[in-house]
Amino acid sequence: MPQQVHAVPVLSDNLVWLLEGADRRCVVVDLGQAEPVLAALAESRLTPVAVLITHHHADHTAGLAAFLRVYPVPVFGSAHESSPFASQPVADGAVIDLPGFPPLTVWHTPGHTRGHLCFVTEGVAFTGDTLFTAGCGRLFEGSAAQMSRSLARLAALPAPTRICCGHEYTADNLRFAAFLEPDNPAIAERVTQLQTQGAASGLAAAAAPPLSVELATNPFLRLSEPSVLSAIAAHGGQPPLSDAERFALLRRWKDDYDGLAPLPEQTA
């Protein structure tokens, strides 16, 4: 049975995720700020049994100390980068078995940071700052080759897998996607949907869209599509480029595009 997930918005645009298990227990994914998460737990009467941290950036970890004073639970973090906050360092392929939850598999997905992790369980993937709704994280520590491999790995998950990402950037990301593929009806539909529903809450990513929606609309998962290839060629790419080269070009292009319409919040 697909797992129940709940998003808790924290800081300016981060999302903390609660994965609900049996007997009103939950697992918390990332913790940029404690107070909103503690309030959400109290309101939903969920009891946390563990915290999973996708990467070391402060907007994913700064709430840990205050949280652990209330709920002293184990903290799983990346063994592939410095994770002083983690009581349980975990590496790629590790399986986190918590009573009342299906197994959570640890994926090392470097690119945004050197040791970034995603956590994959039945029907749900927590993708942190690797895969965003309609976009992807910036390259802070890893290479384009690493990030394109990490994204390709996530793209191969079953299509119904719900994507729970670390930031709400959907509207900004869709603007670039629509600019890149003006004739893609799935992107147009997603933009319309966002305007009618998402704008009300301003939290489209909190809906945890299925991977199938990302495959149809997210340019960073569409690097082999003819429409994206021709956009890249028109932008000055020299096809045939490798996956990593196409990714690098598209990532730089989006950074420049965001630079034209500054998005100061996209710093983490």
Q: Which is nearer to Zn ion, 114 or 222 (CB)?
A: 114
In this complex, which beta carbon is closest to Zn ion, that of residue 15 or of residue 187?
15
Please list the residues that pair with 163 across neighbouring strands.
125
Write down the least CB distance from residue 7 to Zn ion, Å. Answer: 17
| Residue 59 or 214 having the CB closest to Zn ion | 59
* Enclosing H/E stretch for 106: strand 104-108
Under 8 Å CB-to-CB from 8, ≥6 apart: which residues?
15, 16, 17, 18, 36, 37, 40
Determine the Cα–Cα distance for residues 153 and 105; give it in Å rounded to an integer: 13
What does the radius of gyration of the chain's CA atoms come to, in whole angstroms?
Answer: 18
DSSP annotation of 197 reads I
Rounded least distance, CB 56 to Zn ion, Å: 8
- State the greatest distance between any 2 C-alpha atoms of the chain, in Å, as a whole number: 56
User: Which is closer to Zn ion, CB of 57 or CB of 222?
Assistant: 57
**Complex with Zn ion: residue 18 or 117, whichever CB lies closer:** 117
Find the shortest distance in angstroms from Cβ 9 to Zn ion.
16
Task: Name the site residues for Zn ion (rule: CB under 5 A).
Answer: 57, 129, 268
Task: Mark out the alpha helices in 156-242 (DSSP H runs).
Answer: 170-180, 185-193, 199-201, 211-217, 226-234
Query: In the bound complex, what is the minimum distance in angstroms from residue 78's beta carbon to Zn ion?
Result: 12
As a 3-state breakdown, the chain gives helix, strand, coil percent values, each rounded to 5, of 40, 20, 40
Least CB distance from residue 26 to Zn ion, whole Å? 23
* Of the candidates 133, 130, 165, 177, the residue with the CA atom closest to the CA atom of residue 149: 130
Contact 5/21 with Cβ under 8 angstroms?
no
Contact status, residue 6 vs residue 44, Cβ threshold 8 Å: yes
Which residues does residue 132 pair with via DSSP β-bridges, in sequence order?
135
Question: Which residue, 29 or 180, is less far from Zn ion as judged by CB?
Answer: 29
To Zn ion, the closest distance from the beta carbon of 141 in angstroms equals 10
Shortest reach from residue 169's CB to Zn ion, in Å: 12
Closest chain position to Zn ion (CB): 57
Q: Two tokens at 185?
A: 């009806």
Q: Which is nearer to Zn ion, 81 or 92 (CB)?
A: 81
